[in-house]
Structures are given as C-alpha cells and as structure tokens.
Structure 1
Amino acid sequence: MERRLIRIESPDARPGFLGAGHMARQLVGTNFTASDPFIMLMDDVLDKKDFQPAGGPHPHAGFETVSLLLEGEIGDETYKMQPGDFQLMTAGSGVVHTETIDRPMRLRLLQLWMNLPGKNRNALPRVQDLPLAHVPVLDKNGVRIRLYSGSLNGLTAPVRHYVPLIVADIALEAGTTALLDLPASYNTFVYMLKGAITAGADAALLRKEQVGWLDLFEKDGPSTLKVTAKGEDARLVLYAGAPLHEKIVAHGPFIADSADAIPELYHRYRAGRMPHIATVPAEQRILL
C-alpha cells in the first residue's frame, strides 16, 4: 500500500514562555482524535543573548516526552543533550525534570508528548538517552536516515516503548528519492526542516516548516511512503506511531484517563511526592 498526504498544515511561530528570543511553533495539538497517539509537538527555537536563567524544574505525569535536539545544549546535572541527541522520558506516575538555559545560546528542540496506554498511565518513571554517536544510520544514494526510535528500512533503534513509535531524521540530496517502509496502521506525519519535497502517491508538495499528515489504514500490514527532494537538498523528521483509541484528559503538564485524576496529580506534586528524574535509581536512567 502506497501512502499519500491527506492534510498539509503551516503552523505559525509565536513568542514562547522562555522570554526574549524564544519562538515556539506548535506542530501537533489541536485534535487528539486525529493525531492519536501524539498529544502535542513543539518546535522551540531560542536565541538567548543573556545569562538570565530560563526554564527550570517542572512536573509531568501520564505520558512520555520524546525530545530531539537540533541545536544547542539542554539537560540537567546528570545528562546534557547535545545536537543530534534523542531522549525518551516516561513520566508515568509522575516526575519532575529540569530544563534550564542560563547562558547565551541558540537552541532548537523538537519535543513531542506521546500518550501512554491506560494500563501504563502510572508506569515507573524512567528516562532513555540516545546520543548521536549511537544512533543507527543508513547513508546510501544521496539519502541519509538517522533512526532514533522503532524500525525503518532495515534499521532498528535501541529505545524501548510502551507504544510502538518511529522517529527518523531524513536528509535527501537534491533530486534523490527515498522509499520509506512503514506499518500501514501507524498514524504518520512528517515535518520539513529544510528545502521541499514531493511526498506520497499523489506527489504532494511539502515545504520548509510545513507538516504533512498521511492517510491511515485500519488493517495491519506494510506500506510505503515515497519522498523526493525538489530543487535543493531537503531534510525532514518523520514520526509514526500506533494509535491507542483511548480517551484522555489533558490539563497543564498532566495527562489522565479522567478529569477526576487531575487534582490528585497536582496535590502529589505540591506535596513533593513526585521524584526528580535526576534522583531516580540507576536502572530507571538508561544511557543507550
């Protein structure tokens, strides 16, 4: 089955919460029924000129954060991500983590909120860090695939999942084509970082900073997405995940199965009963 693009979106960048120099582009997050299992995805760009700390410790619960750092440095005292690094943090039952930027820096981060199955909503918090040097790579015929999660075109990443997830950074030289092998039942979208491509069975045109959503098949089985770089070199990030078809309630930094669970999460956080991810046992902090 050959996939096609059914929806193209051009989200605007808006001033973000980190203060001067922060522009945030929301790529996913307006219709969870359509984006399942993806809750939200932000493209955060920070051009920081001063030493005033921005960010800081904050809680999460009920989902996973999936972070791909494109520029800069970010992290806590136990691990700092560098450009090209990937991190999957399972907030699960509740955790605090710190993302503080306290010096002049240009930073660009793609951070996805990924749903957890209801049965794993309160999973033990853990974090998996995959440095660029350990990312599986396929570089052939003008196409380079860096696979951060899941399996794609013969590559398999070491990250463990509660929900099957593919994340790939794909670069194409001008005029080259890639055929990407995807499960037909995975909800899939691509985000353009550079250049332009034609994508899918209808050769839809997708340009820089646009999001393209693929059609979705209910039955399992293989499918193919064809992408071709048009006019110049192109780069895109592909996300594909298995839909859960479960209802969620989102409130601030928390995801729950029902609205009744949200006040208890706030109470536990304010009472100091959510651990900081830097303090969890070593077996819950995994360097891949």
Structure 2
Amino acid sequence: MSESHFITPRLVLKKVLAKSLQQGNGAVLRVIPGEWESLDPFVTLFHFSVTAPEGFPDHPHRGFESVTYILQGALRYQDFAGHKSTVTTGDWVTAGRGIVHSEMPAEEGTHTGIQLWINLPSKLKMMEPRYKEVKRKEIPIVKKEGVEMRVLAGKAGAVESPYYSQTPVMMLDVTMKPTSEMHHTIPHCNCFVYVIEGEGVFGSVDCAPIEEHHVAVLGDGEGVSVWNKSKEKELRYLVIGGDAVKESVTVGATFVMNTQTQIQDTLEDFRHFKNGFELAKFWKSHY
C-alpha cells in the first residue's frame, strides 16, 4: 500500500517493551511505561486481557479522554450518566470534569483490547463528560496489496473516520500479510506504533525489526514505511499520532491534570461528590 512517495520517512527513535503487571482485580495489563515526554498528547497505553468475572469495576476519571478498542470479545460499559452498552468494537470516553464508569466482560471467556489515554488541554479538563460507542460497520477500511487498514480516528489518504477526540488524533489498525509492505503519508504530529502481533521493520528496509508488545517511537518525517519480512506470519500494529497539548502533565490515581494540587483537589471532589462527581454519590453499576 503506498501513496505519493515521500522523501523523509519517519525513523524509529526508541523501542520500548510494554511492561506486564497483574492488576488487583485480576486484569492482566501490558502498560507502556513513562516514555511519553516526546509523545504529547498521549498519557499511556494499556494492552489488556481480562477473563470473567474479573474486569474493571466502578472507577472515576477526570481530565483526559480514553479510547478503548476491542481486539477480542466484548465489554459491558456503564457510567453514572446513564450510558449503557455492550461494546464489541470500541468506545470514546471524554471524562472531562468527572465520570465514574465500569468496563466488565460481557460473557465468559477472555476479552482483549487496547485502551489509550489522551490528554485534554487545561481549558477542556472541566468540560462535561461525553460517551460515544464505536460501531464496527462505521469504521472505514482501506485495502490494497496485502495490507488492510482500519481508520479508527483521523484520516488515511482521502478516507476519514467518523470518530474524533477533543485533542485531534490519528489511530490506524493495520494488518499486513506475509512479505507485504506499506508506505503511508502521516501528517505532522507526534507519532508512535504499537505492535500487537508479529514483527515488522519500520522506517527503512534495513532497520532491526520491532517485535510484538513493543512501542516504536517515530521521529519526524513525511510518512511511515513498514515491511513484513515474514514468509508465514501476519503483522498487526497500531499507528497512533496526535497534536501536542504542550502543557504539564500530572497523573494521580485515574486522573490526569496539570499539577499535583489539581490532583489533590480532584480526590477531594470525588470524596465529597462535588464539582462533577455529584452523581457518584448514589450510583453503582450492575454487572
């Protein structure tokens, strides 16, 4: 798959292996560690795997947006604003000034997916929360020469996703057949790839391959070039890019604010059910 040839491909600046951990409620996560200074507006990325009855029970957020993309299975989503859905493809949650929600397996078996946290600029951190479910049939798909690209957010050439965040981002789910290659123009933004399965060569054909469960931080350039040199295995990865917010970031618990004082204020608001968390006082999910 290729567009007009670009002169300066984005090269890999850094390769980071995701860190495995066991969450207290049994959810196994692969968490990209604190390598995000050069990847503003992104805060973190989770590659999760949960098996019922474990999952992500009631918890609060403030100050960022989350994108959950289901790879296998389904999650049952509920929040204190009354949104309920069985998510089979994904969803966008703008926490804004406050939201409490749960994300639990919809049925037996193992459920896997990706969740990306996107920072909100300070002027939007106290906006009203929003929820939007991603419908599989609405995701544009581009196919060409052994490459399938799902446009989850942003644009791929002339193809544009109907889903967007307050902080503009691009998110592509790319599957490449054995021995295929892709050359794709990427707009000017901070950009990285996360390899879900297989291994691929990014940037230049003679570079070292990036294996599954690794993040490859990409440098500046006009586009990304990728080769699947395997003769047997498919390569699947996400290409994620976004416009920098250019503000300080402080993460505390499940909140993303600008300062530690704001984190403490958020904890106080949640504890006393005020300033966006009023509905949390009498709400509890059912799963």
The question of whether the paired residues in 1 share the 8 Å contact of 2:12 and 2:203 is answered with: yes
What do residues 232-283 of structure 1 show as CA deviations (whole Å, max 9, x unaligned)?
Answer: 3211111111112210221111111222222221222223342669xxxxxx
Amino acid at match of 1:81: V
Q: 1:64 to 1:204 in 2, by over 3 A?
A: same
Whole-angstrom distance in 2 between the partners of 1:135 and 1:103: 24
Map of 1:153-232 to 2, 5 A cutoff? 153-184=157-188, 186-201=189-204, 203-216=207-220, 223-231=222-230, 232=233
Whole-angstrom distance in 2 between the partners of 1:154 and 1:261: 41
Partner of 1:88: 92
Amino acid at match of 2:37: T
Whole-angstrom distance in 1 between the partners of 2:56 and 2:106: 9
Partner of 1:11: 18
Partner of 1:283: none
Count of aligned pairs between the two proteins: 263
Amino acid at match of 1:26: V
The question of whether the paired residues in 1 share the 8 Å contact of 2:49 and 2:112 is answered with: yes
Whole-angstrom distance in 1 between the partners of 2:266 and 2:234: 46
The question of whether the paired residues in 2 share the 8 Å contact of 1:71 and 1:108 is answered with: yes
What do residues 44-73 of structure 1 show as CA deviations (whole Å, max 9, x unaligned)?
Answer: 11244xxx4543111100011111111121
* TM superposition outliers: structure 1 runs of 4+ over 4 Å: none
**Percent pairwise identity:** 23
Partner of 1:264: 265
Q: 1:24 to 1:198 in 2, by over 3 A?
A: same
Partner of 1:24: 29
The 3-state SS of whatever aligns with 1:243 is: coil
Q: Using the TM superposition, give the Cα deviation of residue 170 of structure 1 relative to its aligned residue in structure 2, in angstroms.
A: 0.2
Q: 5+ residue gaps in structure 1? A: 218-222, 278-288
The 3-state SS of whatever aligns with 1:183 is: coil
Q: Using the TM superposition, give the Cα deviation of residue 102 of structure 1 relative to its aligned residue in structure 2, in angstroms.
A: 7.3
Please state if 1:239 is matched with 2:245. no
Q: 1:24 to 1:53 in 2, by over 3 A?
A: closer
The 3-state SS of whatever aligns with 1:46 is: strand
Whole-angstrom distance in 2 between the partners of 1:12 and 1:267: 31
Amino acid at match of 1:260: T
Amino acid at match of 1:227: V
The question of whether the paired residues in 2 share the 8 Å contact of 1:97 and 1:276 is answered with: no
The question of whether the paired residues in 2 share the 8 Å contact of 1:53 and 1:102 is answered with: no
The question of whether the paired residues in 1 share the 8 Å contact of 2:76 and 2:106 is answered with: no
Whole-angstrom distance in 2 between the partners of 1:242 and 1:8: 21
Whole-angstrom distance in 2 between the partners of 1:199 and 1:31: 19
Q: 1:55 to 1:161 in 2, by over 3 A?
A: closer
The question of whether the paired residues in 1 share the 8 Å contact of 2:15 and 2:214 is answered with: yes
Please state if 1:99 is matched with 2:107. no
Q: 1:87 to 1:54 in 2, by over 3 A?
A: closer
Amino acid at match of 2:227: T
Q: Using the TM superposition, give the Cα deviation of residue 110 of structure 1 relative to its aligned residue in structure 2, in angstroms.
A: 0.7
Q: Using the TM superposition, give the Cα deviation of residue 140 of structure 1 relative to its aligned residue in structure 2, in angstroms.
A: 1.5
Amino acid at match of 1:245: K
Q: 1:266 to 1:228 in 2, by over 3 A?
A: same
Amino acid at match of 1:57: D
Taking only aligned residues, the RMSD between alpha carbons, in angstroms, comes to: 2.0
Whole-angstrom distance in 2 between the partners of 1:110 and 1:276: 28
Partner of 1:284: none
Which of 85, 88, 91 in structure 2 is aligned with 1:79? 85
Map of 1:27-176 to 2, 5 A cutoff? 27=32, 29-48=33-52, 52=53, 54-76=55-77, 78-82=84-88, 85-101=89-105, 104-176=108-180
The question of whether the paired residues in 2 share the 8 Å contact of 1:24 and 1:43 is answered with: yes
The 3-state SS of whatever aligns with 2:261 is: helix
* Higher mean C-alpha deviation, range 249-258 or range 195-204: 195-204
Whole-angstrom distance in 1 between the partners of 2:179 and 2:95: 41
The question of whether the paired residues in 1 share the 8 Å contact of 2:273 and 2:279 is answered with: no
Whole-angstrom distance in 1 between the partners of 2:229 and 2:130: 41
Q: 5+ residue gaps in structure 2? A: 1-7, 79-83, 281-287
Q: 1:148 to 1:113 in 2, by over 3 A?
A: same
